[in-house]
Amino acid sequence: MSIRERMSGNEAVATALRQIDPDVFAMFPITPSTEIPQYFAQYVADGRVETEFICVESEHSSLSACIGAEAAGCRAVTATSSAGLSFMNEVLYVAASLRLPVVLAVSCRALTGPININHDYSDSMAERDSGFIQLYAENNQEVYDNLLMAHRIAEHSSVRLPLMICQDGFITSHAIENIELEEDEEVKKFVGEYHPENYLLKKENPLAVGPYGISAYYMEARVAQAEAMKRAKQVILEVAEDFRKTFGREYGFFECYRMEDADVALVIMGSSAGTAKVAADALREEGIRAGVVKIRAFRPFPGPELCEVLKNCKAAAVMDKSEGFSACGGPLFAETSGALINAESRPKLIDVVYGLGGRDFTVESASEVFKRLCGIAKGAEIGPVYSHLGVRSL
């Protein structure tokens, strides 16, 4: 039986971690993810988990300790945000290339500068090429559910890749909302135990991890890693299917909201999707066929599946909540337009960068974008392909 509760996204993550009871949790505080290890520290203090909880001296070390623990044969987790994730950058690549399924909870926050503690995806998007699987959540329920699925995906023998579950800093990490929690025992049963094949502490067979790989070998290692990311797609769907059967909630690569007959659509991520859905509902009342695609899996990126969903759409806006400084659009736009490039039927596509550093994204803002799309759908000039929403004149 599910338990009806109310809590913040950070507490939901901490609760899932308590239920999973991982072997090692290495932590370093940073706003807004700090609450996750704080809640967890109390679980340790109260003897509710058996986890080895290490308070290290930096995020670089928290992930390094997780890598050491995973390589040694354990399930290891950590949490961070913003500059903390950037500080991990080097070792994110190490974790992925060593094929260690570390699970990392990110409460996404803007990167400096100016220094800002509020939400956007500049931290997680900067790590999109690190080799981590990335799952995004709209609310506390989704971040909780993503975490229950995380280890099953990451540790799967055909994947063996680290995974970050991303939620919106403050917006979902701190907002208290209703949530359905699952029973501890049910969670443990669903997640299962971790039994890696080879590990440093295995007595029968010592292991050497992290070689120098010259050009005769490096490329094969990278391609093997790329293939694992491709295989992760199937595993994400399989685990979601088992999750649906077990707990009843449905997940895929993305959520389609009123997309069946949509002429105009927003491709969006995280909590903003809720806002976009409300705007779409209102526009539907006016006879505008508006829909929303909410991306859950950004890595691996579901390109062909997204093409399928957008093929009958006339105009779509990719909503980027991070600025990639490419001078031609944000990271979600680059992925989406790349996915559509060879599609025979595809919408006109624009990129709207919005909400940086916690700038409000309202129903009105979403409607404004939808209305622009309506014009494009009817044959108006597309206008600037890449623009910023709600910026005061410079």
Binding site for another protein (CB under 8 A): 23-24, 26, 50-52, 54-58, 60-62, 64-74, 76, 90-91, 94, 98, 200-203, 206-214, 217
Written as one letter, the residue type at 152 is: R
The DSSP result for 68-122, as a single string, is HHHHHT--EEEEE-HHHHHHHHHHHHHHHHTT---EEEEEE-PPSSS---S--SH
Closest approach of another protein to the CB of residue 71, in Å: 5
Is 90 or 238 the residue whose CB approaches another protein more closely?
90
Closest approach of another protein to the CB of residue 58, in Å: 6
Is 45 or 176 the residue whose CB approaches another protein more closely?
45
Q: Tell me which DSSP letter residue 358 carries.
A: G
Closest approach of another protein to the CB of residue 189, in Å: 17
How far apart are the C-alpha atoms of 22 and 51, rounded to whole Å? Answer: 6
Q: Which token pair is 391?
A: 């910026």
Q: Tell me which DSSP letter residue 302 carries.
A: -
Question: What does residue 165 show for φ and ψ, rounded to 5 degrees?
Answer: -100, 125
Contacts of 105 (CB under 8 A, 6+ apart): 13, 17, 33, 36, 77, 78, 79, 80, 143, 147, 164, 165, 167
Closest approach of another protein to the CB of residue 199, in Å: 8
Is 49 or 269 the residue whose CB approaches another protein more closely?
49
Q: Which token pair is 320?
A: 């980027």
Closest approach of another protein to the CB of residue 171, in Å: 31
Is 96 or 133 the residue whose CB approaches another protein more closely?
96
Is 57 or 381 the residue whose CB approaches another protein more closely?
57
